Structure 1
Amino acid sequence: MLVMNYLKQHLDNKSLILIFRGVVVGLLSGLIVGSFRWLIEISLRFWQKGFRLAHTNWTILLGGLILVLIISLILAKFLHDEPHIAGSGIPEVEIQLQGQLTLNWWSILWRKYVGGVLAIGSGLFLGREGPSIQLGSSIGQGIAEQTNLNKTNTRILIASGAAGGLAAAFNAPIAGTMFVLEEVFHNFSVRVWLSSLSAALAANFVTSTIFGLQPVLAISHQTYFPLSSYWTLLVLGIFLGLFGLLYQKVLLLMPHLYARIKFIPTSLNGLVPLLLLLPLGYFAPELLGGGNNLILDLNTAKETTLLLFGVFLLRFVFSMISYGSGLPGGIFLPILTLGAVLGALFGNILVVLHLISPTMIPSLIIFAMAGYFAGIGKAPFTAILLITEMVGNLANLMPLAIVSLVAYIVVDLFKGAPIYESLADKMMLPTSAQFSGKTDQLTLTIVPESHLVGQPVKTIHWPKNTLLIKITRGTKALIPDGSTILRAGDFVTFVVPYQQRLTVRKKIERM
């Protein structure tokens, strides 16, 4: 009774509805993504066992070839019928939230689910997190459409489903919420935050029930990184930033390289990595998959510097081939795996030079995962929170932040853009410059450096067909008139044409 009275006093009905919807989306996302994770793990073990048995029975390889051809044809059919299941799906979610793309949620949901299990579960260097985000967003969209919600609330549930999907993929609810706000939604909206966090927590509860409470990357490492060695974090950040730039450039180049393959249709590009999977699986089955087990093995194994460089090169090249083919699968976990290998490589070099103790290498592996993702994704807050939740240790937030920030700065200095935003920009989407009559809401923050600070609303030339309807200042919601003066930190809410939401957002951000 006391709890209910407190909720009634401090939460209005709209907030309770947002939380309730988020929980429903999260529970369903947890069930779908949890089973998705489980099937991928089962499938990967099946393939690895088959490759090991092939050493004593070569006919198993022939069966593997036949299976690869069947999977290629199934995935080609899926991609032909629904092109937007290709890749991670995060760029599609991002564009969908900007009002530039309309998807058939059911078509995406079942094809991404089955296609993801077939592609990722076969052992290709693809991650489950991107598909999990798209699966969650599809669930959110489906619930919104089935309950006839308006465009604004539909977008909130799509974002909430995305947060729930990432939380379920990695057992990381806080990072899932931050990723949606920092990388996908590109704005801090209280309504989106509240609903997304509710969904992420609910989804994490479901998957924790299925897989247990142990962190996904339970790496044993030195509790505190010594202050006397903090200089190595700066060097590591630069090192990761430069390799992050290389990753960005090569990944964005892959569609052009695959376009040169003229003898097979685009939908069959997945045949290339699936055929290459056979020799790779035969000689190194332990390297198959997104890389979760490899990261854990790096913590205990004593690989040489040369071997680590070879593993990095192999994973880098085959990750590009796998993702560039357009098969359903993400780059999130492969990026973390590459970062872990770079951290171990960097640590080995410092040990050889007698600059650090070998006991510090596990810590560098953890820091490097965050730094490499922060540089490539340009989402440092998500990187810090994600690795903290995945490792299950709060002791090294400071080193994580330093490495992530330095890697981010290096990529930014060389004009590197967030990888998911770059992938979204390369998608060829129909645009509409005409106002169809459908509207949506857009909320943006007035940053301190904006020249709009201190300006009366009536003196500002807002984009065409844009109406400022609300200013949120702290806990107060203001209805603006012409004399209302904007302040730093204000959240300004507009009604905008639905098809022009992205265009209007960019115009106002430039202002």
Structure 2
Amino acid sequence: MLICVTAMVAGVLIGFVGGAFRWCLTAADGLRADLADWAHRIPGPGWLVVMAAAAAGATLAALIVRWLPMAAGSGIQHVEAVHRGDATPPLLRLLPAKFVGGVLAIGSGLVLGREGPTVHMGAAIGAEAARRARLPDSEVRMLQTALGGAGLAVAFNAPIGGALFTLEEVTKSFRLRTVLATVLATATAVGCSRLINGNHADFQVEPVASPALSWLPLFIVFGLLTGCLGVFYNRLVLTFLDRVKAVPRIPAVAKAAVIGALIGLVTFIQPLATGGGDTLNQLILGGNSMVLAAIAGFLALRFIAGPLSYAAAVPGGLFAPLLAIGTLWGVLFVGGFDAVWPGDHASMAIPMAIVGMAAFFGATVRAPLTGIVIVIEMTATTSVAVPMLAATAAAVLVAELLRSPPIYDSLRERMPANPTTA
């Protein structure tokens, strides 16, 4: 009983904190777009203004990380390490570091996801709540894991997906106590966050007709190719991390500033190419047409900008940018197929984009059920569930056959021994 009450109280806290975090990022997206628009209209080199603003945001976020090193990156790998007993549960002072650092980093335009900081903040709240309730260490670890899932649910407004994330990706088990704590925390967290951000799905998608079963082989082929793309993306993330870290005699804060300035330049040229990617996703899923060259350009830019941004080692995750890449890749695939086999395939673009989100997520994170459920909840669309299952299974199969480890396993291996937030 005490665990259930503690989980619900902690769920309320991460619901309001995570909801406020999302609200701040939405406001920052609007301000960033307005700044880029203003910079185009002023006389002189307006691009320097946008570059300076992005560099300043990344620098301040990096300074926060220098104060509290555990605030760097996603934080999901730390939640997993705590569950495995390889790290100590996060302290509550991680919460302001992730909140402010995440708003500065993601708000400045770095191609990072809101879910990493929200998961980590949820874990910190869960661990602190368990300590205050005087629960044993095993329950502290369990509650930090359960509240991490609640944080993901708040980040994507996907309660079932957040609960599944805890069970499929972190614990890899379905123990009743963990399931109960996770479900209660997730339900209260999402309920509270919706008081701030609205009680609706993240993406507004018009009703999508179920693709004919005759198209199922095409979705499987798409999934196989997506698996290869996911493997390449994971390797790119790790390569950027290693290369940027290996640059000698340059402080981490300076590296973050340089990366921020580069992202700022991209923001000046095309604001949709930077940030978490929600606005770009909504444009595509909402039925706005783009020329194939623009889709390819956005995909190339975000494919590079995401790993580069993560290499800045500031607060920010990988999930949201993965979803944007999956959307772009799905539309590009349909366009390429139409070029090779001309026909009326325009109606396949949105279904393939939705499937691409789940398949690319599955290939990189290796949590296929979590990815599928999150996408279904974010789009409020179930009509492509069968193609989504087939394509995601194919993508995960390819990634496994290529022996590419899940991205968070690789990131966890790069953590220092027995890391703490002290």
TM-score, structure 1 normalization: 0.78
Return 16-25 or 154-163, whichever deviates more.
16-25
Residue in structure 1 matched with residue 333 of structure 2 by the alignment: 346
Could you tell me which runs of 5 or more consecutive residues in structure 2 were left unpaired when the two chains were aligned.
Answer: none
Does the CA-based 8 Å contact 2:362-2:368 persist in structure 1?
A: yes
Q: Determine whether 1:234 maps to 2:220.
A: yes
AA aligned opposite 1:30: G
Q: Secondary structure at the match of 1:219?
A: coil
Residue in structure 1 matched with residue 102 of structure 2 by the alignment: 116
Residue in structure 2 matched with residue 450 of structure 1 by the alignment: none
Residue in structure 2 matched with residue 315 of structure 1 by the alignment: 302
Map of 1:237-256 to 2, 5 A cutoff? 237-256=223-242
Distance in 2, Cα, partners of 1:347 & 1:195: 42
Residue in structure 2 matched with residue 183 of structure 1 by the alignment: 169
Q: CA deviation at 1:159?
A: 1.3
Equivalent of 2:92, from 106, 120, 127?
A: 106
Residue in structure 2 matched with residue 160 of structure 1 by the alignment: 146
AA aligned opposite 2:234: Q
Equivalent of 1:417, from 394, 405, 409?
A: 405
Does the CA-based 8 Å contact 1:50-1:60 persist in structure 2?
A: no
Does the CA-based 8 Å contact 2:147-2:185 persist in structure 1?
A: yes
Go from structure 1 to structure 2 and tell me whether the alpha carbon gap of 1:305 and 1:106 turns closer, same or farther (over 3 Å shift). same
Q: Determine whether 1:219 maps to 2:202.
A: no
Residue in structure 2 matched with residue 492 of structure 1 by the alignment: none
Distance in 2, Cα, partners of 1:65 & 1:280: 9
Could you tell me which runs of 5 or more consecutive residues in structure 1 were left unpaired when the two chains were aligned.
Answer: 1-15, 432-511
Residue in structure 1 matched with residue 5 of structure 2 by the alignment: 20
Distance in 2, Cα, partners of 1:98 & 1:301: 45
Does the CA-based 8 Å contact 1:126-1:289 persist in structure 2?
A: yes
Q: CA deviation at 1:274?
A: 0.9
Residue in structure 2 matched with residue 52 of structure 1 by the alignment: 37
Equivalent of 1:386, from 342, 367, 374?
A: 374
Does the CA-based 8 Å contact 1:304-1:348 persist in structure 2?
A: no
Q: Secondary structure at the match of 2:73?
A: coil
Distance in 2, Cα, partners of 1:375 & 1:65: 33
Equivalent of 1:36, from 21, 26, 29?
A: 21
How many residues are aligned here? Answer: 416
Q: Determine whether 1:170 maps to 2:156.
A: yes
Q: CA deviation at 1:314?
A: 0.5
Map of 1:63-462 to 2, 5 A cutoff? 63-299=49-285, 300-352=287-339, 353-354=341-342, 357-430=345-418
Does the CA-based 8 Å contact 1:171-1:390 persist in structure 2?
A: yes
Return 233-242 or 351-360, whichever deviates more.
351-360
* Deviation digits for residues 157-206 of structure 1 (CA, Å, limit 9, x no counterpart): 10121111011111101100111111112222211111001111111111
Return 159-168 or 301-310, whichever deviates more.
301-310
Q: CA deviation at 1:104?
A: 4.5
Higher relative contact order (CA 8 A, sep 6+): 2
Q: CA deviation at 1:109?
A: 0.9
Q: CA deviation at 1:395?
A: 2.5
Q: CA deviation at 1:81?
A: 1.9
TM-score, structure 2 normalization: 0.94
Does the CA-based 8 Å contact 2:54-2:260 persist in structure 1?
A: yes
AA aligned opposite 1:215: A
AA aligned opposite 1:94: E
Go from structure 1 to structure 2 and tell me whether the alpha carbon gap of 1:333 and 1:137 turns closer, same or farther (over 3 Å shift). same
Go from structure 1 to structure 2 and tell me whether the alpha carbon gap of 1:305 and 1:202 turns closer, same or farther (over 3 Å shift). same
Go from structure 1 to structure 2 and tell me whether the alpha carbon gap of 1:172 and 1:62 turns closer, same or farther (over 3 Å shift). same
Distance in 2, Cα, partners of 1:17 & 1:411: 42
Q: CA deviation at 1:218?
A: 2.3
Does the CA-based 8 Å contact 2:111-2:274 persist in structure 1?
A: yes
Q: CA deviation at 1:59?
A: 7.0
RMSD (Å), alpha carbons: 1.8
AA aligned opposite 2:178: V
**Structure with the higher fraction of residues in helix conformation:** 2
Q: Find the structure with the greater CA-based Rg.
A: 1
Go from structure 1 to structure 2 and tell me whether the alpha carbon gap of 1:72 and 1:334 turns closer, same or farther (over 3 Å shift). closer
Q: CA deviation at 1:44?
A: 1.7
Distance in 1, Cα, partners of 2:343 & 2:364: 28
Does the CA-based 8 Å contact 2:51-2:263 persist in structure 1?
A: no
Does the CA-based 8 Å contact 1:161-1:196 persist in structure 2?
A: yes
Distance in 2, Cα, partners of 1:73 & 1:291: 22
Structure 1 runs, 4 residues or longer, greater than 6 Å off: none
Distance in 1, Cα, partners of 2:57 & 2:290: 35
Distance in 2, Cα, partners of 1:219 & 1:375: 24
